[in-house]
Amino acid sequence: MYPRVILKGTLFKKSQQKRRTSPCNYKERYFVLNTQDLTYSERRPGKKPIQKGCIELCRIKCVEIVRSDVPIPCEFKYPFQVVYDSYYLYIFAPDNDSRLKWVRALKEETKHNSLSLTYHPDFWGDGRWRCCGQAEKLAPGCSEYYPTGTASKKPLPPTPETQPRLSSSEQKIVVALKNFSSVEETDIPLHKGEEYVVIDSSEPNWWTVRDKDGNVGMVPCMYITEKLLNNIEKYEWYNKDITRTEAEELLMNENKEGAFMVRDSRQAGVYTVSVFTKAPGSNGEKNPRVKHYKIRETMSEGIQFYLAEKYLFSTIPELINYHQYNAAGLITRLRHCVSRDTGNSPRTKEIASEKWEVDPEDLTFGEELGCGQFGVVLEGYWRGNKVAIKTVRKDSMSDEDFKEEAKIMMKLAHPKLVKLYGVCMQHSPICLIFEFLENGCLMDFLRAKKGSFKQEDLLGMCLDVSEAMAYLESSNFIHRDLAARNCLVSEKYEVKVSDFGMTRIVLDDLYISSEGSKFAMKWSPPEVINYTRFSSKSDVWSFGVLMWEVYSEGRLPYEYRSNSEVIASLNAGDRLLQPRLCPETVYQLMQWCWKEKPEDRPSFALLLHQLASLADL
Ligand code: ADP
């Protein structure tokens, strides 16, 4: 009986390295799969094809997609592998569809062979397997091999030796948002809520995934969401293997409002946030006490996490970061993380504080520069540096918060951020010691030099601020009060961002609360005005207003309108108008910053990129 042809078509193959020195090259071949073998031939126009290879199907041990990020130097970019005897043949298909057809057909034809139990999902290169790093070409595979692509035959459960060695952090897992029924032969169905391992995500709309039974096929990306693995072990606030009682003990010892940690809940796979508070309880609760909040999950738009109220986040670190700034239903915001490992040895604390405490003996106080929100600002000297000394009235902030915030602010260092050198607690009022910037506050500078700016000056100012903000964004730090009045101008006319984090150390409700008279309503997005919901994306809105201030040369936004009129016009979809000096491209960026929904606004990283490319023109 003649063998029946199953599939045929042009593919590329990587030629076998027979000799070590032979270069690795890619050849176009015409492949034919029939019920007996897989052959490939060279086809030349007008000539008879020459068969270049033939692999009997009974010798094939593994057929699988190659998951790799190495650039593929031939026209066809979708690799799969055929492992037979001890050879690896790499074949490249023109698209994912075609690759899947070949892999499926080959698997189907070889599924009864005595197959490998494991395989290498990536290429061999530079003397090692790229997937597992093993330096022996014949080293056993590092991933479990599924010999069949159809549900009709489930793979055998792996034996302990053949457990996939790919760690979960290397695997991308997705969860189905909806049910999906296969339309084409190369698809597999999706069942809402089930997890799938991503095998190939190079296609923008259709990914190749493997379900729990080992079936491989394509699914529409719209129907799945990435399960961001909550790699939380690296975070200081996470305490692995700590009991509720131990957590309570540590937090009570710390005795600080908002001291918190994340720990494993008794229920496997669930986490709990434990937080210390001195706030009075409602029904005779102990005071002070530790409250425990379970981190809950919901599946409405992919897996999302939340705590007390439904403020949803796709990862636990994002959720914690948010609640470090916003109580949002918790008894207090998460202020100081407590970790069992860092310990609270008095010695470490002492050393840390030495670095940020400035000795008043080293300070020389000079003339008054201006009057700030929290007190007078003086010029001065500290260890030979000209500095700005910001005094803070004692009643305007809590001592404890102040130290913690100042420590965080000191850790932030970027050429476009005004450097905080240290704080002086031994002086009354308390002082913050900042780098001195000769040309003072940006808003005053813009007004004073009105009419003299070139386009590149204005764009350069926005670019400077976006650099600082992209840095704060990447440090998970929210400014909360970005505006031209809170930026300063250096001797070389660079703009630097100042006052970052200051709103977190003041107790002044007029400043913090959206109803307060000092609240920067005209720089705030709707979610801050309505729910005090700060984020890097609320900073992005403020940055849009700052760009507007720059291009208006220091005008006040919505100058003749009251706060309530501004809210009404924002709700109606109106935005600040395009300043006369502002090019269309920049105004488009401003409007992007003022999108109603925070998630529709660009990140600072993106804004920086856009502004930089405008500056290059
Ligand atoms: P606050 O933010 O507390 O309201 P400001 O930062 O507005 O205070 O400070 C008041 C004034 O002091 C500013 O307008 C500016 O002229 C001056 N000033 C503040 N910080 C510096 C600094 N680092 N270098 C030079 N001048 C400064």
Q: What is the pLDDT of residue 301?
A: 61
Tell me the average pLDDT across 529-549: 92
CATH of the domain at 178: 2.30.30.40
Ranked by mean pLDDT, the top range of 71-80, 165-174, 502-511 is 71-80
> Phi then psi for 39, rounded to 5 degrees?
-115, 155
Residues of the domain holding 213: 173-226
Q: Of ligand 1's atoms, which has the minimum distance to the CA of residue 437?
A: 24
Q: Is residue 91 part of a domain?
A: yes
Task: Please give the number of the atom of ligand 1 that sits closest to the Cα of 371.
Answer: 10
Question: What does the mean pLDDT of the chain come to?
Answer: 82
Going by CA atoms, what residue is nearest to atom 16 of ligand 1? 440
Instruction: Tell me: pLDDT of 167 over 50.
Output: no
Pair 599, 499 in one domain: yes
Please give the average per-residue pLDDT across 518-541, as a whole number. Answer: 88
The verdict on residue 159 lying in a domain is no
Protein residue with least CA distance to atom 1, ligand 1: 372
Answer with the one of 127, 144, 162 that is the final residue of a domain.
Answer: 127
Is residue 466 located within the same domain as residue 610? Answer: yes
Share of the chain above pLDDT 90, in %: 34
Give the dihedral sign, CA 522/524/526/528: negative
Statement: residue 232 has pLDDT above 80:
no
Hey, which residues are catalytic here? Answer: 481
Cα(369) to ligand 1 centroid in Å equals: 7
Residue 466 has pLDDT above 90, yes or no: yes
Give pLDDT tens digits for 338-392: 887 654 433 333 333 446 778 888 888 899 998 877 778 999 998 878 999 988 7
Same domain, 605 and 488: yes
What is residue 230's predicted lDDT score, i.e. its pLDDT?
A: 58
The alpha carbon of 372 and the centre of ligand 1 are apart by a number of angstroms equal to 6
- 139: in domain: no
Distance CA 350, CA 279 (A): 28
Residue whose CA is closest, atom 27 of ligand 1? 440
Claim to verify: residue 255 and residue 376 sit in the same structural domain: no
Per the CB < 8 A criterion, the answer to whether 76 and 98 are in contact is no
Residues 457 and 557 reside in one and the same domain: yes
Structure token pair of residue 244: 């509720």
367, 369, 374, 508: which to mutate for ligand 1, most atoms within 8 A of CB? 369
- The reply to whether 72 falls in a domain is yes
Contact 295, 316 (CB under 8 A): yes
What pLDDT sits at residue 221? 79
Domain count, the chain: 5
Q: Are residues 10 and 68 in the same domain?
A: yes
In this predicted structure, the answer to whether residue 258 has a pLDDT above a threshold of 80 is: yes
CB 503 within 8 A of CB 511: yes
Please report which confidence band the pLDDT of residue 149 belongs to, taking 50, 70 and 90 as the band edges: low
| Percent composition of the chain: helix, strand, coil (DSSP 3-state, to 5) | 30, 25, 45
> Any idea what the CATH number is for the domain that residue 46 is in?
2.30.29.30
Q: Is the pLDDT of residue 291 over 50?
A: yes
Q: Of the ranges 20-24, 137-141, 422-426, 525-529, which is most confident? A: 525-529
Ligand 1 site, residue 372, Cβ cutoff 6 A: yes
Pocket of ligand 1 contains residue 370 by CB under 6 Å: yes
Q: Is 389 near ligand 1, meaning CB less than 6 Å away? A: no
Residue 132 lies in a domain: no
Residue 136 belongs to a domain: no
CATH of the domain at 428: 3.30.200.20
Q: Are residues 466 and 564 in the same domain?
A: yes
- Indicate the pTM of the whole model: 0.52
Tokens 């050393």 identify what position?
351
CA-CA distance, 87 to 92, in Å (whole number)? 16
* 78 and 9 housed in the same domain: yes
Q: In the prediction, which pLDDT does 418 show?
A: 94
Supply the residue whose CA is at minimum distance from atom 11 of ligand 1. Answer: 370
Residue finishing a domain among 435, 459, 488: 435
3-state secondary structure 505-546: CCCCHHHHCCCCCCCCHHHCCHHHHHHCCCCHHHHHHHHHHH
Q: What is the pLDDT of residue 509?
A: 39
Classify residue 418: in a domain, yes or no: yes
Residue 415 has pLDDT above 70, yes or no: yes
Going from the Cα of 436 to the center of ligand 1, the distance in angstroms, rounded, reads 9
Q: CATH number of the domain at 582, please.
A: 1.10.510.10
- The domain that holds 325 is classified in CATH as 3.30.505.10
The pLDDT score that the predictor gives to residue 503 is 61
pLDDT over 70 percentage in the chain: 84
Look at ligand 1, atom 20, and give the residue with the nearest C-alpha: 388
Q: Is residue 496 part of a domain?
A: yes
Dist. CA 517 → ligand 1 center (Å): 20
pLDDT of residue 518: 57
Confidence (pLDDT) at 345: 35
Q: Rounded to the nearest 5°, which phi and psi values hold at 261?
A: -155, 160
- Let me know whether 484 and 609 are in one domain: yes
Q: How far is the CA of 490 from the centre of ligand 1 (A)?
A: 12
Residue 538: pLDDT band (50, 70, 90) is: very high
Same domain flag for 480 and 604: yes
Q: Are residues 597 and 516 in the same domain?
A: yes
**Same domain, residue pair 507 and 469:** yes
Q: Is 612 helix (H, G, I), strand (E, B) or coil?
A: helix
